[in-house]
Amino acid sequence: MDCDTARVLLHGHLDGELDLILDHEVDRHIEQCDRCIAEYAAIRALQTRLKDQSLYFEAPAELKEKTRRAIHRALPRAQASPSIRRSSVRRAVRFAIPMAVAAILALLIVPSAIRPGHNEIVAQEVLASHVRSMMASHLMDVASTDQHTVKPWFNGKLDFSPPVVDFAQDGFPLVGGRLDYIDGRAVAALVYQHGKHVINVFMWPAAPEAAHSAKIETQQGYNLEQIAVAGMNCWIVSDLNPTELAKFGELLRARG
């Protein structure tokens, strides 16, 4: 290696951006070249000085606040656009008060009468969350295939600890998790993959509702399944075909 090449590559070397072979060649050149070793030391000294706190300009708090306000002005949350999630939220809100009244009446009179309606809304929310997560803005808060990383991540973020199991050996690797909001509460969302399909699993502690027949519904081309896992209410949603989704549901029920 000649000096001209080494003088460029030593930067990649210092930055840990070279492959092993080049790294080694740079080392070998530097060891026997006084000028390059001096340059290497000088650049390293410069890099150290550049880490000085006073050279980093943090964003002023007023800028953060100002920008947040500008974003909200430019894009109000209730913007009228054909979003599944928002329409489902709006629908949920519109029905919230009548439903609360109905729920009280139902508890007194016909305990199971309103459940399908409630479940339907939850199903809509689950589906909307899945669709939204696929829009790539926010699939995962914690990206890890390691269940021992994902599970502790939820600590302190939820008032329960969801079962997190990796099913990589069965063809359904865990890829990450995030917080989501379903049925008026914070829930755990676990993200699995099967081939190119993404599976979202939403979990939260279940009120002991009527036993769910593990029936798969299809809505807007997505398949949804609701099951009970370790005392959790659990919704599985994906564009995966119903057979494979059922297989995944079985795994979750058996080992979750």
Interacting residues with another protein between 188 and 227 (CB under 8 A): none
Yes or no: say if 185 and 204 are a contact pair by the CB < 8 Å rule.
Answer: yes
The alpha carbon of 57 is separated from its chain's Cα centroid by a whole number of angstroms, namely 30
User: Which one of the spans 7-15, 150-158, 198-206, 215-223 is the region binding another protein (CB under 8 A)?
Assistant: 7-15
Cα–Cα distance, 135 to 212 (Å, whole number):
30
Interacting residues with another protein between 69 and 108 (CB under 8 A): 70-72, 74-77, 79, 81-83, 85-86
Asked if 58 interacts with another protein (CB under 8 A), we say yes
Burial class (CB in 10 A: 0-12, 13-18, 19+), 130: buried
Question: Which residues, in sequence order, are CB contacts of 129 under 8 Å at separation 6+?
Answer: 85, 180, 181, 182, 189, 200, 202
Nearer to another protein, 62 or 159 (CB): 62
User: Which one of the spans 128-136, 162-170, 202-210, 224-232 is the region binding another protein (CB under 8 A)?
Assistant: 128-136
Task: Write down the least CB distance from residue 75 to another protein, Å.
Answer: 5
Cα–Cα distance, 237 to 222 (Å, whole number):
7
Residues that bind another protein (CB under 8 A): 7-12, 15, 17, 35, 38-39, 41-52, 54-60, 62-64, 66-68, 70-72, 74-77, 79, 81-83, 85-86, 132, 135-139
